[in-house]
Structure 1
Amino acid sequence: SLGALEPSPDHQWIAYAVDIDGSERHEIHFKNLSTGEIAADTIKGTHTSLEWAEGQERIVFYTMLDEHDRPDRAFRHKLGEDAAKDTLLYKEADPQLFMYLSKTRSDRFIFLECHGKVTSEVRFIEAAKPLSEFKLIEARRRGVIYHAAHHEEKFLITTNDEVQNFRLVEAPVTDPKAANWKEIRRGTTTLQIEGVDSFKNYWVIHERENGLPQLRVVDLKQKSEHLIEFSEPTYELSGESNAEFETDIYRLAYTSLVTPNTVYDYDLRSREKKVMKTQKIPSGYDPSKYQSEYVFATAEDGTKVPISIVYKKEGFKKDGSHPLYLYGYGSYGMSMPARFSTVRLSLIDRGFVYAIAHIRGGSEMGRAWYEGAKFLTKKLTFTDFVSSAQFLAKEGFTREGNIAISGGSAGGMLVG
């Protein structure tokens, strides 16, 4: 399988990482795009993380796996040289942390991030100075997570150092340590800041408020901001790769329990959305025949638990007569998206109500939603799910004894 595919800055070469035996241990190869020649350079035992330096030297940074298949070392390789002599740039000793490389959208910096569930640390190097050493943004502190992006002479950093639901700060690239962080935007008990996409004239801040994702556009020239608007009560929204740094167009993906997967190009200046692609339903599909709702159940301790619901409008009554299919997960801080699926249509068309209980253990309602339901408080994931089912019956979406429950992976533990 193909794990990475990165063209060189001059588009003359392509570096790619392949797993040829299903072990998830990759080997990196290099292909000359002008001649079709595969270079003799082969680097084995790698992860999928690799980035080219800028310039004509044809230098690549990559990560290697340890004996437990954890990416723990970063190397520098020059095309045409013996990979056995590649320079080790950094080795991560903490077995709880994983390493990956990324290049900023501006192409100016390469980041080396070591991250775990409760800690992260980022180093950086100028992509045009590949022989220099990686510099540290801020030393790791247990419980503190941060991620970085780049804009002009500053880094944009998303961190939970002072607020559980993260804040967005800026720091000078010349001295980006925490003492120099200047706050831009702060999370609240209902608003979580999840990251930022940086462009020449705009920032797009990824947020989640009251359980729902949202994209906030900051116009740096006009010194204004707005949210990209969608009207459905529950949905899933995310940015695509958006590789261009100098652009007014932001590509995003949108879907809901009613709306098939749709890709938009959003004009950051005019605020107009243009549909680029919509998921095709070969058997035919009319979204106007279906209705979604976003409601809140009350958990045993009084906490409000969000639930995403969809049903067919025709024949639907909140009288308890409908069977209901309830899905849950609630683990590892993963938010369950309210996305479209053709698989469930046959049930809904026959009168089923489909619901997703966004129970604690995920991150739908912020970082506390995850941290408050693990280890000794993991029981809350289960009791939230029960409370969600009881609420749906009480509100007439179904009745007790007429509910099917489902969960995959960690959700299997929930329902099993």
Structure 2
Amino acid sequence: QTLLGFQVYRHVLGTPQADDVLVYEEQDKSFFMGLGKSRDESLIIIDLATTETNDTWVLDANNPEGGFSALMPREEGHEFDVDKLGDTFYIVTNWQAKNFRLMTATQSTIADKHRWQEHTPHRENVLLEGVEIFDDYLILTERELGQTRFVVVDQQAERLTLEFDDPCYYAAIAMNPEPNVSSARIYYSSLTTPGSLYDVDLKTGNKTLLKQQQVLGDFNPEHYRSERLMVTARDGEQVPVSLVYRIDQFNKDGSNPLLQYGYGAYGITIDPSFSSSSLSLLDRGFVYAIAHIRGGEMLGRHWYEQGKKQYKQNSFSDFIDVTHALTEQGYAHPEKVFASGGSAGGLLMGAVVNQAPELYLGIGCHVPFLDVLTTMLDESIPLTTNEYDEWGNPNDPAFYDVIQAYSPYDNIKPQAYPNILVTTGFHDSQVQYWEPMKWVAKLRELKTDDNILVFKTDMDAGHGGASGRFKSLEEKALEMAFFIALLSN
């Protein structure tokens, strides 16, 4: 079973579920499916997406017993997101625009992209991530040099950029259910600023703080400092790094322990946001760093494309090069470096410890995708076919060789490995528990060191960890205790 939704049924309130009518069925099992409504609530929308292709089907919300129709022809490689307000469709599209552009259309022109009108053009150095639509304004979410910004566009096409002060941060459009307003809710967080909800005047850009995450204890943001660095990778690319430390616990003399985190897949950007649990490490002198490696999308679409398929090795090389740079620049002691990652970030950890085990004292490897070659060859495993566009299809000999060259399980060899904590969930449908189990067994057979290798399977958990208000804190505490204990030995 793929575990992907592929059918939409119409249900009449008060009638038996057995009487529901199938109104749409997706035949291509590689597509994810979502169901929602347009901004003006005039359309019921079925959103379909694979790694590199989108499709949208719509139904008049005032005629729920009608049939869904394709909004435009499905085109392989066309990625887009579409919404509607009044008579206008707004399309964020990669058509002739690697970093996306904003186009508009009407009911009569939406099916033919050659008749669309350009609202915001493509730019080589700016990634257009999305648009929020209001009656009198648009808010464009853009990213340049890794930093998110919001650009408010009024009906006269005047543009106002909303700016933030931290050197690195996370910001996103929050819930704004009503389009007929002149202000918007925006969520903001940084490595030193707890999660904050602002009301922003769309005419002036003035921000009013409505709510901020409470931090227990004597937390004072002025005790911490964040930085954004650019590290030169081995091929000359500049890799962004976000880091934070406690000022009175840090000396840039190579004496501090470092925890370096990474993900690097699916075009997902790990933005630097506040973590109250990480304060425990910072207060003990740790430097916490996020390596924004290729495979994510922090520096635009090319950053993602250069970390997938045949270029996947760039993700691992970037992470290793960031570790070298942070120790060489005095941010960390070379014998007190830790690294952590989960899922595709667990793949990153597995590859890194094969390629540069000497750099790390301890590794946290969570729900890790470690047996890449075997999994991608088995089409019966959930999500395999859906991810050929991410990793490549190993039934193609060229991609078989690419994946085999880095797949963590297939590259374990007799050598010394760091201390490693591996966690997984018995009910994980995305990375089945036997992947890390196989990896750990092979590591125990071949590794030449006496370092700790702990394997923990949570019998109640899935890919996102076990449910429960405090369970995630317990899992985080386990990793932190593992790292702290290694420092005290």
Superposition TM-score tier, normalisation by shorter sequence:
0.7 to 0.9
1:40 match: none
Q: How far apart, in 1, do the equivalents of 2:23 and 2:277 lie? A: 47
Q: Which whole-Å deviations, capped at 9, do the CAs of 1:147-191 have from their partners, x for residues lacking one?
A: 101122110001112111111111112330212211111333321
- The aligned counterpart of 1:55 is none
Partners of 1:82 and 1:173 in 2: how far apart? 36
CA-CA distance at 1:80 after TM superposition: 2.8
Corresponding position: 1:223 with 2:157: yes
Aligned counterparts of 2:188 and 2:122: Cα–Cα separation in 1: 23
Structure 2 unaligned runs (5+)?
351-489
Tell me the residue number matched to 2:116: 181
Q: Which moved more, 1:200-209 or 1:366-375?
A: 366-375
CA distance in 2, matches of 1:281, 1:381: 34
Contact 1:186 1:193 (C-alpha < 8 Å) held by counterparts: no
CA drift at 1:109: 1.7
Aligned partners of 1:410, 1:91: CA distance in 2, in Å?
30
Kept in 2: contact 1:172–1:180 (CA 8 A): no
- CA deviation digits over 1:313-350, x for unaligned, max 9? 22533222222111111122211120111121122122
Deviation at 1:278, TM superposition (A): 0.7
Task: Describe the superposition over 1:254-309 as per-residue Cα deviations: whole angstroms up to 9, x where unpaired.
Answer: 10100011111111123221111111112121001111111110111111100001
Identity %: 38
Count of aligned pairs between the two proteins: 349
More strand by share: 1
Structure 1 residues 260-409: aligned runs within 5 Å: 260-314=194-248, 316-409=250-343
Aligned equivalent of 1:199 = 134
Q: Residue 55 of structure 2 is aligned with which of 116, 121, 124? A: 121
3-state SS in 2 of match to 1:236: strand
Say yes or no: does 1:258 pair with 2:192.
yes
Amino acid at match of 1:207: E
Q: Note the aligned Cα RMSD (angstroms).
A: 1.6
Conserved? CA contact 1:149–1:197, under 8 Å:
no
What is the aligned partner in structure 2 of residue 25 from structure 1? Answer: none
Q: Which runs of 5+ in 1 are unaligned?
A: 1-66
1:88 matched to 2:22: yes
Match of 1:203, SS state, is: strand
TM-score normalised by the chain length of structure 1: 0.80
User: Retained in 1: the 8 A contact 2:109–2:116?
Assistant: no
The structure showing larger relative contact order (alpha-carbon pairs under 8 Å, at least 6 residues apart) is 2
Q: Write out per-residue CA displacement over residues 214-267 of structure 1, whole angstroms, 9 at most, x where no aligned residue.
A: 2211112x4311121111110000111211121112111110100011111111
AA aligned to 2:312 is: K
Q: What is the rounded CA distance, in whole Å, between the counterparts of 2:91 and 2:219 in structure 1?
A: 43
The amino acid across from 2:250 in the alignment is F
Tell me which amino acid in the other structure corresponds to 1:300.
R
CA distance in 2, matches of 1:134, 1:179: 23
CA distance in 1, matches of 2:53, 2:24: 18
State the Cα deviation string for residues 354-403 of structure 1 (Å, max 9, x = none). Answer: 11000011111122222221222211111000111111122221242332
Instruction: State yes or no: 1:211 paired with 2:146.
Output: yes
Question: 1 CA distance for matches of 2:27 and 2:302?
Answer: 29
